[in-house]
Structure 1
Amino acid sequence: MTTPNKDFIYHIGTVGTPWGEAEKKQWLSEQQIKRSYADEVVAPLRKYLPDTAELVSYGALDYRSFDLPLYPLFAVRSKNWQADQPIVLVTGGVHGYETSGVQGALQFIKEEFSRYSEQVNLLVLPCISPWGYESINRWNPKAVDPNRSFGAESQSDEATLAMNFVRQHAGEILVHTDLHETTDSDNSEFRPAKAARDGNVNHNWNIPDGFYLVGDTDKPEAGFQRAIIEAVQKVTHIAEADENGCLIGEKLAQFGVVNYPKRSLGLCGGMTDAKFVTTTEVYPDSPKASPEQCNAAQVAVICAAVDYALG
């Protein structure tokens, strides 16, 4: 667990004044491409696509006005889609910098997709924010957080394209697992940047050492969350609450689980009416967790979620 520096002031903008276009342009100018979406996401999708799946293009992110590429967006869908079967939705890379969300989704496609494809209709969007993946960033190039944009007033093309695509699939969405991480950079970079952008004062929180889940306040499904925690415990350690009984400033709902009102916050996990919803939070900066464990934890979540929902 890392201790927050509550007095950290971001280097762009004036304290108490929201960013204008000049500050956003400065911020974007400082971002750098650090890895390849084409090589690390698209190529493995094509290489390891199982026979039971089809690769679907659901649009493209056009950031050429920012001197950035056109990013094609891909989903993996059950080839034998059956209208009478429930849908399991998996989303990764809403925050592109959260690596195991993307790589865990890819590993699920490679290793476990076929095992479940006869029981449910699977729909996996492994990397919703490809520029965020390449630049290791929480926001998109417009300094917008896609994971606060899954609503009617979305300002994120990433979120809008994902929502539109998911809505094209008629049927009951039974399960939605949204794959995320909590990192030390949340405190060192992203929360201070958000406060500066919004003209607020930054208040960091302790970063928990370990895995935890964020359920939905409106449909917490405690047994479902508990089953996932028990599965993940076999892969990596679960975060303990802080001295106030909290994780990331929220009171525990149960061991390893806090709840957020997903729909009202515009979170990806709130974009459907799925009965069983959870957001993963892996801690890749822990000295007790390897990248392989982080990816495996994400896979364990998806499998446990489907197993529980199917009873």
Structure 2
Amino acid sequence: MTAEIAAVATTGAASVKGAVKRASISTGAGFDFLMKMAARESGFDPNAQAKTSSAAGLFQFIEQTWFSTVKKYGGEHGLGAAANAITQNAQGRYEVKDPASREKILNMRFNAEAASAMAGELANENKSMLESRLGRAASSADLYTAHFLGPAGAVKLLSAGAGMKAADLLPQAAAANRNVFYDGSRPKTVGEVVASIASSMGGAALNASEAPALAQAQSARDFSPVRSYAHKIVEAFTSKPSMSAHSSGGYSAVALAVLDALDATTIREDRDDQQRG
């Protein structure tokens, strides 16, 4: 397991655009959407790290979201051993007991191939959840909102009245992202926050010339993103594909409340970790 994790964590993606293209093919998530999200989240920098949370990598996955996504979908993209190393405790939080393995799994966020594949899988999962709760098709802005705030936070924001103060709805998210929820000292309304997200997703740069080191996408019809850079890893480690969560289904009020609590806990613990650091 350690060999697999170490190899994938240190494998350099030659092309961010190529990594995103392969992830789009293997997961079915929209290429343009993933590119816009990468532009907004990290400016196409696979090594980006947030200063106010544990968010890191091309798609700025926080630790708990990364562990959860790798646990569910890693086996489908050559990360089966990493997925098996992740467990969920009685409180619903994801853990890796071995400190060295934990660090290496988190460092996979800096690999454009792995991060893109997990971002595509998470986008599909969020799409099903949002459409079930909102009763309509989810837009790219909706999907980014779910990536940014967590699915429960996105539902709360997107279901609220446009004139409400967004920070009152999501105080912990607002504390960690003041530039999104406040205009100076003035709390932004739900309508303003939603419009800002929609505008940023609509205007993100997509051309290779606008982002350094973006090369042409490679053909990737018959292999998953990580396999393209880790053939030996896949040969050495095989895993049973995890059950897909792409199919839509109803989410009860209780389930949504649990998701909301987990989102809030993750934001709070990220903030506390940052303060301790």
TM-score band, normalised by shorter chain: under 0.3
* Structure with greater helix share of residues: 2
* Structure with greater strand share of residues: 1
More contact order relative to length (CA 8 Å, sep ≥ 6)? 2
